[in-house]
Chains A and B, each alone.
Chain A
Amino acid sequence: MDVIAWSRIQFAMTAAYHWLFVPLTLGLALVMAVMETIYVIKKDDFWKKTAQYWMKLFAINFAVGIATGIILEFEFGTNWSNYSWFVGDMFGAPLAIEGILAFFMEATFFAVMFFGWDRVSKRFHLVSTWLTGIGATISAFWILVANGWMQNPVGTTFNPETVRSEMASAQAFWEVVSNPVAISKFFHAITSGWVTGGVFVVGISCWYLLKKRQRKFARASILIGSIVGIVGSFAVMLSGDASGVHAAEFQPMKLAAAEGLQDGGRRASFTIVPGIKIPGMLSILATHNINGYVPGINDILNGYTDNEGNEIPSVAEKMAMGREALIALSIYRSTDDPSEKAEARYALEENVQYMGYGHLEKPEDVIPPVGVVFWAFRFMIGLGMLLLLELLVIGWLAWKDKLAGKRWLMIAAIVCIPLVYICGQAGWIVAEVGRQPWTIQGLLPVNVAISSLSAGAVKTTFFVFLAIFTLFLVIEIRILIGAIKKGPETPKE
């Protein structure tokens, strides 16, 4: 494997590891905030103990997950230095806001939430608990603004002097923040965290029921966990629908790969699994119109007319325009003749949206690994539906207090804990592998984004990380299991 492959695998591993902790932080934050709210309203100590227990698991997850995102920033500077320079001006604002908010909101209110029981007023403590979760959510928003821009780079202008994508005005900043891809990604990621939190709480609570321990606590937790998870699941579907429409609009190749769609058309079918299709469904999902046109991989390669009547150039034509942009950039940066510079700048601005295509060797380079994206998409949807079913059934039975004796269902709920993580990781594979070969859609392919490093150097750090991550994960799981075995401090039944 070359340096690009090792750098990508290392980044994927780090991001996947980081995403083990983030969704549970987001989901448990909501679960415990709801529980503490019930405590404050009902003034019932049972709910306080229940909230405290989930807060303990939240704290363990938080402690092991903290700073795992910083490693991604290390990798930007070392492995992806061209990319880092290219996006530095644009990423600066969102990531600075994220850092400040993450540090001040989470650190301040987490401390009050964690240490402040019986030391600050009930209401202030409750506000702190909510603000801890809101802080984590806002923090995620800014990260997803940055990620959303990479999928759909709006609001910025390429500056050939600095070789950066820059935000020229407050209006540009607003365009970046309100990027529809970022908004749908934000809601999709956050609400998938609610599902993770819900499934986690339901699964752990079912373990107590299986062990015939803490039945009141377990039933109450299942009710709250399943409500949070069910609400999250429906919100994930809505935001996923928006993501599909945005993929069709801004990243049609990703959608075509996720569907394994070679040749598109109107009334395009949605493939459940190879051989089983729902006619017209893909057109509905991608365009909200059964007669909507969905391009396939070959249509994108050869050019097509979109639903607004725009002629989309073939990839070969985009490559030609991209190479014109690169040559214009080269001339602009090397000449001192003002008229030649002006001419080069004009040529660059005319073609800059396809600049990244100038680096491709052949049109087929724009096709991501179809099999990986296709199956990751099916795992994500299939597992998502299964988890919703699990939450509905167990939530309903807990509501009716008919869970007792349903041993297989409780075991299934425990099995669902790893499944919800696989579901979330599959979603990110669709999003990130599906946009290959781009780091920034249409502007910067991965082979240009990378630093001049040897594959051996990246390989070494990959295995160093792998060892450290595995160690910390084992420590976390051990501490978590210890806390779960010990159980909550609610009265035993």
Chain B
Amino acid sequence: MKTFRQSVSAVWHFYRDSFRNMTWGRPLVWLILLKVFILFAILRVFFFKPAMAGLSDEERSRIVGERIAGRQPEAGEPVPGPETYLP
């Protein structure tokens, strides 16, 4: 247990001291944070809402199924053979 704690502590100190002592890398970290903020707090929230957010899997299957199948056939409508479509 002690060894585990020591390892976690060593890793924590490694990262903490490294970030504190950064020189030319510091602007890069700010750049990454700025980018992540723009991506997730602005673009994702205001511009990129998933089109099917909040729908159940059944509803998604139905919507995509209708889009792919194109239309719902009438009851008893015959299935056309290939000759219908051949030029």
Contacts and interface: CB of A to CB of B under 8 A. Distances in A.
A86 B67 CA distance: 11
Interface secondary structure of B, over-half rule: helix
Contact of B43 (A79, A116, A464): A464
Residue of A85, A358, A460, A483 contacting most chain B CB atoms (<10 Å): A85
A483 B23 CA distance: 13
A249 interface: no
Interface in A115-166: 115-116, 119, 160-164
Interface string A272-311: 0000000000000000000000000000000000000000
A318 to B, nearest CB: 10
Contacts of B38: 468
Interface string B47-80: 1111111000100110111011111110000011
A327 B79 contact: yes
B41 interface: no
Contacts of B79: 324, 327-328, 331, 347
Chain B interface size, under 10 / 10 to 19 / 20 to 34 / 35 or more:
35 or more
Interface residues of A, number: 61
Contacts, number: 135
A316 interface: yes
Interface in A343-379: 347, 355, 358-359, 363
B6 interface: no
A330 B64 contact: no
A81 B51 contact: yes
B85 interface: yes
Interface in B32-50: 32, 35-36, 38-39, 43-44, 47-50
A316 B87 contact: yes
A448 interface: yes
B28 A85 contact: no
Contact of B32 (A66, A77, A333): A66
B20 to A, nearest CB: 11
B25 A333 contact: no
Interface of B: 14-15, 18, 24-25, 27-29, 31-32, 35-36, 38-39, 43-44, 47-53, 57, 60-61, 63-65, 67-73, 79-87
Interface of A: 56, 59-60, 63-64, 66-67, 70-71, 74-75, 77-79, 81-82, 85-86, 111, 114-116, 119, 160-164, 316-317, 319-321, 323-324, 326-331, 333-334, 347, 355, 358-359, 363, 444, 448, 451-453, 460-461, 464, 468, 472, 475, 479, 483
Considering the complex of A and B, which 6 residue pairs feature the smallest CB-CB distances, nearest first? Answer: A320-B82, A115-B18, A77-B50, A81-B51, A330-B69, A63-B28
12 contacts: A67-B32, A74-B43, A82-B63, A86-B68, A111-B18, A162-B57, A163-B68, A320-B85, A320-B86, A324-B80, A330-B69, A331-B79
